[in-house]
A and B are shown apart, each in its own frame.
Chain A
C-alpha cells in the first residue's frame, strides 16, 4: 500500500491507523497536527482512521519562526 506523506511516497506493509503510523515513525502525537486528504483530522479520531492506498497525509509541527 502506498501513501503520500508530506509530499513523498511512503510504502506501508500492513494496514494501520494514523496514530499507529505516527508511532512507527517515532513521532510524538501530542506535538503534531495532521491533515488527512486535505482536511484537518481531529486528534481524537487518529486512532480510528485507517489509512488506505493513495491517501495523502500532511504531518506538521511548530518550529522556530519570526
Chain B
C-alpha cells in the first residue's frame, strides 16, 4: 500500500521524526538515523563559539535526510523570520519548524507570534511547519497562511508526559486538512502509537529518544510504534460500544 506522507513536495515513508538535541554524543545520531530509518530530522541554529568552535552537526546527519531547522531561541515573529532565513542560507533546504517561545516557565509556544511568522515565511517561499499549542482557530489561521503542516504539542517540551492535549489534537485532526504532526511531550512509543491511531500524520520526539538509556533502540521502538499506529488508523478501528443498544422503538410509528 502506498501510504506516503507528502510535505513540501517530498514523499516521506517513516512518519517518525526525531531531533538532534540532548544526545550524549553526536556519533550516536547516524546510528539512530540508520537503525530507525529516520527521514526527517531537526536541528537548531546557534552562534559559533569563537573561543572553541564546535563540531559540525551536519557531519553526523546522512545527506539523504530532510533537514528541519527550528527557530528555537526566537521570542517573537521577527526573530523567527530572521533565524529561518539564516538557516536557509546554510544551504540545506527551505524547510523550517517555527518555534517561538516567549515563556520561560512552561516553554509553551507563542501561538500569536507563530501565526505572524508563518504568514511571512510562507510568502518568502519556505516550507513552514509551525509548532503550536493545539488551538483550532490558530490552526485554521495557519492553514489559511499556507503552512505545510501543523505541529501541536502533546505536552510541554521535554516533559515526556505524553498526549495530555489529546482532545484538542483530535479536533485539529478532524477539522484541519493539513498534516497534523504531534510534537513535544511524547515520552513513550505507546503514546506515539496512540497519536497515530487518532489520525495524526506523524510524530516528532527528541527528548524521549535522546534521554533513553539506549537512544538507538528507543528510536527504533518509536519508529515501529508510529508505523503500527498508522496501520491501525488506516485499517479503521473497530467501534467501542458505550452502552447496549436501547430500549423503546423510535420508529414504530412508521409501521
B70 touches A60 (CB 8 A): no
Question: Which among A31, A33, A63, A66 has the greatest number of chain B C-beta atoms within 10 A?
Answer: A66
Given the known inter-chain contacts A7-B47, A33-B86, A40-B85, please indicate yes or no for A63 contacting B54, CB distance below 8 A.
yes
CA distance A7 to B46 in the complex (A): 12
Given the known inter-chain contacts A6-B47, A7-B47, A64-B19, please indicate yes or no for A25 contacting B53, CB distance below 8 A.
yes
Q: Which B residues touch A63, using CB under 8 A? A: 20, 43-46, 54, 57
Question: Which among B48, B54, B157, B184 has the greatest number of chain A C-beta atoms within 10 A?
Answer: B48
Q: Which A residues touch B86, using CB under 8 A? A: 33, 35, 40, 58, 60
Q: Which B residues touch A59, using CB under 8 A? A: 47-48, 50
Contact with B along A24-57 (1 / 0, CB 8 A): 0111100111010000100100000000000000
B20 touches A31 (CB 8 A): no
A interface residues, tally (CB under 8 Å) = 24
Contact with B along A8-28 (1 / 0, CB 8 A): 101000000000000001111
Across the A-B interface, how many residue pairs have beta carbons closer than 8 Å?
A: 101
Residues on B lying within 8 angstroms of A by beta carbon are 18-23, 26, 29, 42-48, 50, 53-54, 56-58, 67, 69-70, 72, 85-87, 89-92, 157-158, 184, 204, 206-207, 210
CA distance A38 to B47 in the complex (A): 14
Q: In the complex, what's the smallest C-beta–C-beta distance from A19 to chain B, in angstroms?
A: 15
CA distance A65 to B29 in the complex (A): 12
Q: Which B residues touch A58, using CB under 8 A? A: 47, 86
CA distance A63 to B232 in the complex (A): 36
B56 touches A27 (CB 8 A): no
CA distance A7 to B53 in the complex (A): 16
Q: In the complex, what's the smallest C-beta–C-beta distance from B107 to chain A, in angstroms?
A: 11
Top 3 nearest A-B pairs (CB, nearest first) are: A65-B44, A66-B206, A66-B19
**Of the residues B26, B48, B87, B158, contact of A64 by C-beta under 8 Å:** B26
B47 touches A64 (CB 8 A): no
A65 touches B89 (CB 8 A): no
Given the known inter-chain contacts A25-B53, A61-B56, A66-B206, please indicate yes or no for A32 contacting B48, CB distance below 8 A.
yes
Question: Which among B22, B57, B70 has the greatest number of chain A C-beta atoms within 10 A?
Answer: B57
